[in-house]
Amino acid sequence: MKMQFMLLFSRQGKLRLQKWYVPLSDKEKKKITRELVQTVLARKPKMCSFLEWRDLKIVYKRYASLYFCCAIEDQDNELITLEIIHRYVELLDKYFGSVCELDIIFNFEKAYFILDEFLLGGEAQETSKKNVLKAIEQADLLQETPVPHPDLSGSLDSWVDTLKDFHRPSSDQLPAMHIFVHVTFIFWGR
Amino acid sequence: MPAVSKGDGMRGLAVFISDIRNCKSKEAEVKRINKELANIRSKFKGDKALDGYSKKKYVCKLLFIFLLGHDIDFGHMEAVNLLSSNKYTEKQIGYLFISVLVNSNSDLIRLINNAIRNDLASRNPTFMNLALHCIANVGSREMAEAFVSDIPRILVAGETMDSVKQSAALCLLRLNRTSPDLVPMGEWTARVVHLLNDQHLGVVTAATSLITTLAQKSPEDFKTSVVLAVARLSRIVTSAAIDLQDYTYYFVAAPWLSVKLLRLLQCYPPPEDAALRSRLTECLETILNKVQEPPKSKKVQHSNAKNAVLFEAIALIIHHDSEPNLLVRACNQLGQFLQHRETNLRYLALESMCLLASSEFSHEAVKTHIETVINALKTERDVSVRQRAVDLLYAMCDRSNSKQIVAEMLSYLETADYSIREEIVLKVAILAEKYAVDYTWYVDTILNLIRIAGDYVSEEVWYRVIQIVINRDDVQGYAAKTVFEALQAPACHENLVKVGGYILGEFGNLIAGDPRSSPLVQFNLLHSKFHLCSVPTRALLLSAYIKFINLFPEVKGTIQDVLRSDSQLRNADVELQQRAVEYLRLSCIASTDILATVLEEMPPFPERESSILAKLKKKKGSSKLPDLDDVRRSVNGSTDHAENTEATETSVSNTVLAFSLYRTEPTGIITLPCDDDFRFVCKNNGVIYENQLLQIGLKSEYRQNLGRMYVFYGNKTSTQFLSFSSAVTSSDILKTHILQTVDPMIEGGAQVQQILNIECLSDFSDAPVLSIQFRYGGTLQNIAVKLPVMLNKFFQPTEMTSQDFFQRWKQLGAPRQEVQKIFKAQHQMDSDVAKAKLLGFGVALLDGVDPNPANFVGAGIVHSKTTQVGCLLRLEPNTQAQMYRLTLRTSKDSVSQRLCELLSDQF
């Protein structure tokens, strides 16, 4: 797998997340994004999830209002990339609890952190959903707590173990990416 | 909203994001952003020290603004400060900012690297991971230099946590991709291979990717991974899905890891050890069997994951290309997918089958699916799937089915999407030529192509049909008859007129016996198209007319009348006018014998590879196109590009020459100055230009900022060149002066010399252009050549001691003074040759400066009138990777840049 980049964009063509695994100039990135968003949005729903673009293969899938779009190299496996996308959606869904586009807009940094735990350098780093979420939760627990001394690290694992698993039990359900209906941002008040 | 309650809500950020979302227009958004930027700037500049939270918030806002597509030019320092915060979220945001907005500002890089180094040493796995993610995300050369030796150590250390190992593995992989020369192989490689045995599947997953990348670079070092990979794969495919717990994905055992292991095995040939080989075959068979089992879930994720593994297994089977049994099974499986209800699977089946078609073992099996594929071409609703079907038909074509496939492609062409028409045209043209048993079929096919998709028929295609007709006596009469008939159509494509004009001009006599295609009828037919055609085609038709005068004396009068008409003799287009005048004159004054000699039938073209094939390869990228002749795919899946392109260029230029009579060249031959002639960077003498008429040679010498060039013009013909003149144009910073003009007449076979003085005022990059004009046999010839005057010509070599060198090297340490380039060797990496080139480049080579004797270190001064620029260079060959790294430091950045461009092209 040599993923070159991953883009998340809305049906209106707004870019929601961009992750580049190859060095490109900002100008080139913008050009690629523009071209690709246009190409993908122009495709009809029943069409196949793969297309050739320049010398790359594009793998994309739409979840509710968001398109997830990856570029891989010629020899790479399209189907496993499609499931990379799905696993990432599952991770977002678990973390945010029924994720919707708004979650990704307002917590974009979290979306990046989760992606980094899952994919690194364009390759799958950890495919276990539990392990990825564990890493993120561990980090969340640390949030405002100052970590003055590196030696605390030893106890981190035990901290997490005492956490009750607040996730729903793993199911065979496709997470629904809800098109947002709740436009008020009550949760920011907390 | 669990996320936010868990998280670190930054209220100010949320408010800002909703403000942006509420903006009604782009202008309003920009206004809001500018307001925010001003606010942040003032906060950052303010006297009051910001607390960590505010700093984090503002940095996060800047990041958001950047991700919206706006430029951010400040805040980097604040982000770097966050890296050393002892609060995790602050550190995390700092790292995110750095990862997204990398800045090559060297001061910051040092600070960033310091922070990373601290975190790597912290032994806190969460911090170590953040640092490793940052290195992997940025992946810059500076970071590679700073950390490439630490990471393997972290990766194989016994006490490293699993999650850190995973990050370290992929971090190293990324650095290896960006700076392969920096990643050293060492005793750690064996231990990395052993990670394939690790208990933690996440570690194995990450390590497999790393090993695959490294194995591609140095297969020998990682050979032992094959045994371990097969063992691991075997354990996965035979395990019950639940055994692997969370690594089971929709009832499929570790699909990602399986795919990666299969991918790793594709770096190697089939195992030689019989036991290992049979174990692998068993694995592959199990994978093929599993697809036949009833699905354990109806979810698309289940079938996708299962089939992802299957397709990778098939890729391995095709790569090995040694087990006929497996190849045929793979083919049958793909055959089933061809009719699957999932579009994705049909697409992939067509794609994989293309590769199978190129294996001799499975070619026949693939052919049995021809009807299904043709049907896909007709019925698939998605153009990308139809495209795959075209590719597969092309790949499965051979002598037995070529007529059917070409016919189907032609009929598809009538309705094909515009985006893929040109490619189909090329494919049809290639297949028709390759599998033509009788050339009448070939001629029909190409004429059909022009009829159906004339706009997409490129020059290569119609040149080729003419070459073939000219080279084969048996088809000439048929071709003449067929084009004559095709031209009867009231509206025919201009390309058909071109082919028709050429062929009738050469072979019209073969059908002239029939009164229905008598010479006059032929001429009238061609001439009826004349007025609808573009200038180049008209020029071609005029040539056909003069050929007619030779072939059919009876229509001479008619044609002369046409040539004599005002619309020809006084045509506004100079080329048409010239042809009309000359042809008319020729027909009037030349005797029949002379006419017959001048207008003789074109000689056969030399046999050569079809330039169409090369064009298709160029268009598609070689890896996508199964080579029809090449039954086995090369191990790396790539074919030699350079060779192909070269072949195209020569054959195209030959074609162009052969066609010059039929083509427009307004005032003789104009050669436009091409790109810089890099051949002359390291040498001062040689031939810089040559065509059939003229040869231009050079000798030059340079001293400090002055140069003198002796230019030799050789007349290669036996006729005089008249009104010969030459001029040199150059930029203001490079003065050129011709010492004496050349006599306007150069006798046949003679050589004359001209002297040119050159003065370099300041550093430059544009070479002067030498333009020459002369008359040869009545035609005015214009030639323009770039003179090989490059900045390095004004080098003066400088010897210095090792100590001096390093002192100066340090002095030239500002970021823009150094230019570095890493590039693949284009020539064989020979140390003596490299040395000669560097000396030719103009620097002094300093021995004993670089601790590595294989490296070159050089020094010199570039002289110009205004300044003298000291230059130090270092060239490090890496024979293993076939790469060079070139580093140049000079006191002027434009000089560093230019010299690097010039020199790096030499190796």
Question: Can you tell me the ipTM of this complex?
Answer: 0.80
Once rounded to an integer, what is the mean pLDDT over residues B187-211? 93
Which of A165-179, B216-230, B740-754, B787-801 has the least mean pLDDT? Answer: A165-179
Contacts of residue A109, defined as CB under 8 A and 6 or more positions apart, other chains included, come to B60, B63, B92, B93, B96
The answer to the question of whether B59 is labelled as a binding residue is yes
* pLDDT tens, position by position, B579-595: 999 999 998 888 888 88
| B560 plus B448 within the same structural domain | yes
* pLDDT tens, position by position, B812-833: 887 778 888 888 888 888 888 8
Query: B73 at the A interface (CB within 8 A)?
Result: no
For chain B, the maximum distance between any two Cα atoms, rounded to a whole number of angstroms, is: 102
- CB nearest to B621's CB, from A30, A55, A130: A55
Does residue A18 contact residue A7 with C-beta atoms inside 8 Å?
yes
Count CB neighbours of B49 within 10 A.
7
pLDDT at B652 over 60: no
Query: CATH number of the domain that B818 lies in?
Result: 3.30.310.10
Contacts of residue B757, defined as CB under 8 A and 6 or more positions apart, other chains included, come to B706, B707, B708, B709, B736, B737, B739
The answer to the question of whether B556 is labelled as a binding residue is no
| B845 plus B879 within the same structural domain | yes
Which of A132-146, B443-457, B559-573, B843-857 has the least mean pLDDT? Answer: A132-146
C-alpha to C-alpha distances, B324 to A106, B33, B234, B317, B359, nearest whole angstrom: 55, 64, 21, 9, 9
pLDDT at B11 over 70: yes
**Would you state the pLDDT for residue B522?**
93
Predicted structure pTM score: 0.68
Look at B6 and A137 and tell me if their CB atoms are within 8 Å: yes
Of the three residues B27, B60, B76, the one that is the final residue of a domain is: B76
Range of the domain at B745: 685-789
Look at B96 and A113 and tell me if their CB atoms are within 8 Å: yes
Look at B305 and A96 and tell me if their CB atoms are within 8 Å: no
pLDDT at A164 over 60: no
**Would you state the pLDDT for residue A146?**
56
Which of A54-63, A99-108, B305-314, B897-906 has the least mean pLDDT? Answer: B897-906
| B522 plus B503 within the same structural domain | yes
Of the three residues B741, B764, B789, the one that is the final residue of a domain is: B789
The answer as to whether B346 is a domain residue is no
Cβ under 8 Å to A: B residues 279-298: 297
**Would you state the pLDDT for residue B499?**
93
| B784 plus B797 within the same structural domain | no
The answer as to whether B524 is a domain residue is yes
Query: How far, in Å, CA of B83 to CA of A111, rounded?
Result: 20
Look at A80 and B178 and tell me if their CB atoms are within 8 Å: no
| B540 plus B564 within the same structural domain | yes
The answer as to whether B633 is a domain residue is no
The answer to the question of whether B57 is labelled as a binding residue is yes
Query: CATH number of the domain that B749 lies in?
Result: 2.60.40.1230
Contacts of residue B685, defined as CB under 8 A and 6 or more positions apart, other chains included, come to B697, B698, B699, B700
pLDDT higher at B88 or B648: B88
Of the three residues B76, B95, B124, the one that is the final residue of a domain is: B76
**Would you state the pLDDT for residue B782?**
83
The answer to the question of whether B681 is labelled as a binding residue is no
**Would you state the pLDDT for residue B2?**
39
- CB nearest to A120's CB, from B18, B170, B624: B170
pLDDT at B644 over 50: no
Buried b (16+ CB within 10 A) or exposed e, B460-485: bbbbbbbbbbbbbeebbebbbbbbbe
| B471 plus B552 within the same structural domain | yes
| B799 plus B779 within the same structural domain | no
The answer as to whether B892 is a domain residue is yes
Look at B254 and A127 and tell me if their CB atoms are within 8 Å: yes
* pLDDT tens, position by position, B366-423: 999 999 999 999 998 888 899 999 999 999 999 999 999 999 999 999 888 888 888 8
| B518 plus B556 within the same structural domain | yes
Once rounded to an integer, what is the mean pLDDT over residues B218-225? 91
Query: How far, in Å, CA of B812 to CA of B869, rounded?
Result: 11
* pLDDT tens, position by position, B139-175: 888 889 999 989 999 999 888 999 999 999 999 999 9
* pLDDT tens, position by position, A2-20: 899 999 999 999 999 999 9
Q: Predicted confidence band at B540 (pLDDT cuts at 50, 70, 90)?
A: very high
| B807 plus B746 within the same structural domain | no
- CB nearest to A79's CB, from B173, B246, B307: B307
**Would you state the pLDDT for residue B239?**
85
Q: Which amino acid is at B7?
A: G
pLDDT at A150 over 80: no
Contacts of residue B143, defined as CB under 8 A and 6 or more positions apart, other chains included, come to B109, B113, B116, B135, B175
| B845 plus B728 within the same structural domain | no
Q: What is the mean pLDDT of chain B?
A: 85
**From the CA of B873, how many Å to the nearest CA of chain A?**
26
Query: A163 at the B interface (CB within 8 A)?
Result: no
The answer to the question of whether B735 is labelled as a binding residue is no
Number of domains in chain B: 4
- CB nearest to A1's CB, from B96, B126, B209: B209
The answer as to whether B733 is a domain residue is yes
Q: Read off the DSSP letter of residue B677.
A: -
Look at A80 and B255 and tell me if their CB atoms are within 8 Å: yes
Q: Predicted confidence band at B671 (pLDDT cuts at 50, 70, 90)?
A: very low
| B822 plus B758 within the same structural domain | no
Q: Predicted confidence band at A143 (pLDDT cuts at 50, 70, 90)?
A: low
The answer as to whether B485 is a domain residue is yes
Once rounded to an integer, what is the mean pLDDT over residues B486-499? 90
**Would you state the pLDDT for residue B631?**
34
**Would you state the pLDDT for residue B471?**
87
Query: How far, in Å, CA of B645 to CA of B162, rounded?
Result: 48
**Would you state the pLDDT for residue B491?**
85
Q: What is the mean pLDDT of chain A?
A: 78
Q: Predicted confidence band at B477 (pLDDT cuts at 50, 70, 90)?
A: very high
| B776 plus B802 within the same structural domain | no
**Would you state the pLDDT for residue A158?**
31
**Would you state the pLDDT for residue B106?**
64
Buried b (16+ CB within 10 A) or exposed e, B731-765: eebbbbebeeebeeebeeeeebebebebbbebbbb
Look at A130 and B246 and tell me if their CB atoms are within 8 Å: yes
Query: How far, in Å, CA of B39 to CA of B720, rounded?
Result: 78
Once rounded to an integer, what is the mean pLDDT over residues B462-490? 90
Cβ under 8 Å to B: A residues 11-40: 15, 18, 21, 23, 26, 30
**Would you state the pLDDT for residue B621?**
52
Look at A150 and B123 and tell me if their CB atoms are within 8 Å: yes
**Would you state the pLDDT for residue B742?**
81
The answer as to whether B770 is a domain residue is yes
Once rounded to an integer, what is the mean pLDDT over residues A70-74? 94
Query: A142 at the B interface (CB within 8 A)?
Result: yes
**Would you state the pLDDT for residue B738?**
82
Tokens in use for B676?
């810089």
Cβ under 8 Å to B: A residues 65-94: 74-75, 77-80, 82-84, 86-87
The answer as to whether B546 is a domain residue is yes
Once rounded to an integer, what is the mean pLDDT over residues A51-59? 92
pLDDT at B675 over 60: no
